[in-house]
Amino acid sequence: MIYTGVQQIMLGSVCKTEAQTKETLKHIKQAGYDGIELNGFMIRPTPFVVRMLTKFAGMPVGKGGKYNWKELLSEAGLRTIAIHEDLGSIQRDPDMIIKEANEFQTNHIVITGMYRFDYSDKNAVCKLAADLNHSAEELKKSGIRLSYHNHNCEFRKVEPGLTAYELLIRETDPELVGFEFDSYWPTEAGVSALDLMKRLGSRMKLYHITDRGTRITGPSMTPILTSDSVELGDGNMNLTALIKQAKSVNVDAVILETHKNWIDKSPVKSLERSAEYLRQCSL
pLDDT at residue 226 is higher than 90 = no
Taken in order of first residue, the domains within the chain and their CATH numbers are 3-215+223-280 (3.20.20.150)
pLDDT at residue 52 is higher than 70 = no
* C-alpha distances out from residue 122 to 4, 78, 157, Å: 35, 41, 9
State the pLDDT at residue 104: 98
pLDDT at residue 59 is higher than 80 = no
Within the chain, residue ranges assigned H as helices are: 18-31, 40-43, 48-56, 69-76, 87-92, 94-103, 122-140, 164-171, 184-188, 193-200, 239-248, 267-280
pLDDT at residue 100 is higher than 60 = yes
53, amino acid identity: L
Per-residue pLDDT band for 65 (boundaries 50, 70, 90) equals confident
CB neighbours (10 Å) of residue 47? 9
State the pLDDT at residue 51: 58
- Phi and psi at 11, nearest 5°, equal -105, 0
Per-residue pLDDT band for 260 (boundaries 50, 70, 90) equals confident
Task: Give CA angle at 251 (246, 188), nearest 5°.
Answer: 50
- How confident is the model over 221-238, as a mean pLDDT? 93
Residue 213, burial from CB neighbour count under 10 angstroms (0-12, 13-18, 19+): middle
Average pLDDT over the chain reads 94
The DSSP 8-state label assigned to residue 218 in this structure reads S
pTM flag (> 0.75): yes
State the pLDDT at residue 48: 57
Higher-confidence residue of 217 and 23: namely 23
> How confident is the model over 2-36, as pLDDT tens digits?
999 999 999 999 999 999 999 999 999 999 999 99
78, amino acid identity: L
pLDDT at residue 56 is higher than 60 = no
Per-residue pLDDT band for 142 (boundaries 50, 70, 90) equals very high
pLDDT at residue 61 is higher than 80 = no
**Residue 62: left if φ>0, alpha if ψ -120 to 50, beta else—which one?**
left
In whole angstroms, give the CA distance from residue 23 to residue 213: 29
- How confident is the model over 201-228, as a mean pLDDT? 92
